[in-house]
Amino acid sequence: MSSTAQTSEKAGPRTRRRSTPTSRAPWLLLAPFLVVFLLTFILPILAAVGSSFVQVTRKGLFGEAGVSQEFAWFHNYALALQNSSFISSIGRMFLFGIVQVPIMIALATVLAFLLESASAKWPGAFRAAYFLPYGVPGVIATILWTFLYVPGLSPVIDVAKWMGIDVDFLGAGTVLWSIANIVTWSYTGYNMLIIIAQLKSIPGELYEAAHIDGASPWRVARSIQVPLIAPALMLTTVFSIIGTLQLFAEPQVLMSVSPAIDSQYTPNLSAYTTAFAYNDYNVAAAQAVLIALVAFVLSFAFLRLTNRKS
């Protein structure tokens, strides 16, 4: 602290010169971004945190005899945590993430390796094909898949029936995995692309050296490629964990065909319903803060865990 004070003292005359047009330029150029960032990102977050600590009391049948609000400490957080539907939605996302994220990341890695292997044919065309689902918005993707899930419309179910198998994609026990399937279909290509970018940055000399040493392709993948793409794997996993907790569009659209999906099926659906169907903005704000905290803790825990290993 003292050293900084000293430096700034020494730098006194020079810092005065800093308020020239050139020193103000970066701030001026950043201003448009900062203003929008502040108004649409920082302020709403502060507003949400603020309103999560407020409680409303009503007098009369509809509050017609007076409505008052007061600071309520963690009352709304307690209500959010008492809501068993909200808690089970978070639990459901844990289950979803533990199964779906590893499958998707593994699939993305395998696809990336295949496309980057020396014997790959038309890697460009396949890369584009695998990436294509990411270009389909979540809502549209879900509508597309709905036609394969709904009995009476789905050719998959018809074919299974001929073979004597009764499949129900939309039942209470299966619909979560039907959603996982849509999410995997949408995002595998995107994650694959990040991994490919990292694979491409591995210097050619390493492959040459391995080749000279007589390493098998399997050995090259295990000892060179996987360790060197670890940062990309970590990045995609963290993105996927956050994405899982924010699942919204897919269950929202599937709701109309699957009775098993309730209005609080995922944490974000729960916050949305609480805010805009139940008009309970304060509890919804508390839920939103809790979701952000869980996402933060999970991502942080994952990073700590993988860092310790390496």
Partner 1 sequence: MTRLTRRQLMTLGLGAATATTLAGCATPGMTSVNTAPTLPAAADGKPVTLTYWAWLKDLQAVADIWNAANPHVQVRTVWIPSSGQGGYQKLYTALAAGGGPDLAQIELRAIPEFMLVNGVVDLARYGASGDATTFDPTLWGQVSFSDGVYGIPQDSGPMATFYQTAAFEAVSAKPPTTWTEWAQVAVELRKNKVYIDCFSISDPSSFVAYATQAGAAWLKADTDGWVLNMTDEATLAVARFFDTAIDSDLVTTAFALYSPPWFAAAANGSLASVTDASWADALVEGVANGEGKWRVAPMPRWEHGGYGSSYRGGSTTAVLAHSAHPAEALAFATWLNGSHEGIDALIKQSGIGWSPIKDYIGADRTGASDFFQGQDYNTDVFLPASTEQNDKWQWWPITQQSLNILADEFRRKPSGQTLVDSVAKAEASILTAFRNKGLTIRKGEA
Among 74, 223, 256, 297, binds partner 1 (CB under 8 A): 256
Nearer to partner 1, 13 or 203 (CB): 13
Using CB under 8 A as the criterion, what x/- string covers residues 72-111 for binding partner 1? -------x-----x--------------------------
Determine, following the binding rule CB under 8 A, whether residue 262 of this chain makes contact with partner 1. Answer: yes
Output the smallest distance, CB 137 to partner 1, in A: 16
Query: With CB under 8 A, what is the number of residues at the site for partner 1?
Result: 51
- Choose among 243, 141, 130, 136: nearest CA to 195: 130
* C-alpha span between 139 and 146 (Å, rounded): 10
What six digits make up the tokens of 92?
């459901």
Q: How far is CA 278 from CA 92, 245, 271, in A?
A: 22, 22, 10
Among 282, 288, 290, 295, binds partner 1 (CB under 8 A): 282
Determine, following the binding rule CB under 8 A, whether residue 64 of this chain makes contact with partner 1. Answer: yes
Which window, 91-99, 188-196, 254-262, 299-307, contacts partner 1 (CB under 8 A)?
254-262
Nearer to partner 1, 61 or 118 (CB): 61
- At 231, which helix (H) or strand (E)? helix 230-245
Among 273, 288, 290, 298, binds partner 1 (CB under 8 A): 273
* C-alpha span between 122 and 130 (Å, rounded): 12
Among 37, 73, 94, 278, binds partner 1 (CB under 8 A): 278
The string over 271-295, giving b where at least 16 C-beta atoms fall within 10 Å of a residue's C-beta and e elsewhere, is bbbbbeeeebbbbbbbbbbbbbebb
Determine, following the binding rule CB under 8 A, whether residue 13 of this chain makes contact with partner 1. Answer: no
Q: Tell me if 242 sits within 8 A of 212, measured CB to CB.
A: no
Output the smallest distance, CB 278 to partner 1, in A: 5
> Phi and psi of 295, rounded to 5°?
-60, -40
* C-alpha span between 205 and 198 (Å, rounded): 16
Cβ count within 10 A of residue 98: 11
Among 2, 20, 28, 62, binds partner 1 (CB under 8 A): 62
Where does this chain bind partner 1 (CB under 8 A)?
Answer: 4, 8-9, 12, 15-16, 18, 38, 42-43, 46-47, 50-51, 54-58, 61-64, 67, 69, 79, 85, 146, 150-153, 172, 256-257, 259-264, 272-273, 276-283
